[in-house]
Amino acid sequence: MRFLLCSGLVGWGLVVAGWIWASPASGDAPARGPLEQRVLLTGELVAAESTVAVAPVVKIWPLQVRWLAAAGSRVTAGDRIVEFDNAQLASRLEDERSAIVSAESALDQARASTATEAAAARLEVARQRAALAKAELAADLPEGVTSEQELANRRQELQASQLRLAQAEMTLRARQDGRDATLGAARQVLEEARLKYEQTRADLERLVVRAPSDGVLLLGESMEGSVLRVGDQTWPGNTVARIPDLSTLQVVADLYDVDDGLVAPGMEAEVILDTFPEEVLTGVVAQVEEIAQPMGRRTDRRSFRVLVAVEGIDPTRMRPGMSVRVEVSYQAVEDAWLVPRHRLVWRGEQPHLEAPGGELEPVSLLDCSTDHCALSEAPFGMRSPESAP
């Protein structure tokens, strides 16, 4: 059997103190180097920028979805994407149309009645003016033509005619002022009825939500937190759809508290989309949120959101919402002797290193990855002759 005693020389075999190791190229021999760990994250593609369509703010709530465009479909700005049930507003529109007709009829009646009253008041003024003119003629007699008593009576009648004319003119002014107030109130009622009608008609049109821009349609969430479907309800002002900017796609992943501190901005990552498992994309951790956020409405689980900037995203095939796996690598141990995990044998809580010949040596572990473990000191077969017992 060929063997070498010089430390550091590698041939087809390595023998020190009777232990024979295969060539390091085989992957079984201990070797010095850093121990890399991988943290597995799960997440999805998310567009950093998008235009949003919201449920209209109208005088009914909640709103119920009557029709939806297909999620993932391509839409053009102005296309109908969501339509809400309009039965309640349609009924209200008919009531308000009837209110307009009633207000118009009330205005016509007010015009007619006030016009009649004003005409009667003007006629009374004309009559009192004629009576005053007659009383003035009767009282304008020289002395001696009639008795003093008769003249006094005529002058008294003149004063009464003047008072009656003043009263008639005051009544006419009151009728005119009252006519303006009555017609003004009737016009206001009509204007308010028309405004309500126009508002309801505009609300009715707003129940049809249209695409704010060109792009791929992503539907929002219902009140229960699920993807919006026909028949679901939502509140006015809630987001019902998004048109993402596909050039801003990034990965948002969840980091659980057990792995907190293992992932930091600047770390390299490998990203694999479940839809395209054969493609491995490269990325860099851009941000790790400092506060854990709820993972959903129906769970108490929390996670730290991790943003990963990814290279090589193809927006023609990749869409927001696609699930991804993210593997972030980091150096758990900077430099140590590394051995394959399958070479470790456990006797109780004590790990032992198994040599190719079957010999077992107790070892102390610094850390382990999925395929290698780092030892706190060199295994016996790799120690220099001076350090061997």
Q: What is the pLDDT of residues 371-388, one digit of tens each?
A: 889 988 888 666 554 444
Is the pLDDT assigned to residue 15 strictly greater than 60?
no
pLDDT at 302: 86
Q: 372-375 and 323-340: which strand pairing?
A: antiparallel
Percent of the chain with pLDDT over 90: 49
Q: What is the pTM of this model?
A: 0.61
Q: Which superfamily, per CATH, for 14-48+246-382?
A: Efflux pump adaptor protein, beta barrel domain (2.40.30.170)
pLDDT at 7: 35
Average pLDDT over residues 14-36: 58
Tokens representing 353 are 């290193």
pLDDT at 262: 83
Average pLDDT over residues 366-371: 86
Domains 14-48+246-382 and 50-85+207-243 share a fold: no
All structural domains of the chain with their residue ranges: 14-48+246-382, 50-85+207-243, 89-205
Confidence of residue 82 (pLDDT cuts 50, 70, 90): very high
Is the pLDDT assigned to residue 356 strictly greater than 80?
no
Is the pLDDT assigned to residue 139 strictly greater than 60?
yes
Average pLDDT over residues 206-214: 95
Is the pLDDT assigned to residue 248 strictly greater than 60?
yes
Please state, in angstroms and rounded to a whole number, the distance separating the CA atoms of residues 360 and 35. Answer: 23
Confidence of residue 23 (pLDDT cuts 50, 70, 90): very low
Confidence of residue 258 (pLDDT cuts 50, 70, 90): low
Is the pLDDT assigned to residue 89 strictly greater than 60?
yes
Please state, in angstroms and rounded to a whole number, the distance separating the CA atoms of residues 273 and 247. Answer: 17
C-alpha pair distances (Å), 74 with each of 177, 220, 317? 63, 16, 13
Tokens representing 268 are 């390299």
Alpha helices, H only, 140-245: 148-206
Average pLDDT, the chain: 85
Average pLDDT over residues 12-18: 35
pLDDT at 93: 93
Choose between 31 and 95: higher pLDDT.
95
Average pLDDT over residues 158-187: 89
Average pLDDT over residues 67-82: 94
Range 50-85+207-243 has CATH code 2.40.50.100: yes
Please state, in angstroms and rounded to a whole number, the distance separating the CA atoms of residues 134 and 78. Answer: 79
- For 321-354, the pLDDT digits (tens) are 899 999 998 888 888 889 888 888 888 889 988 8
pLDDT at 13: 36
Largest CA distance in the chain: 175
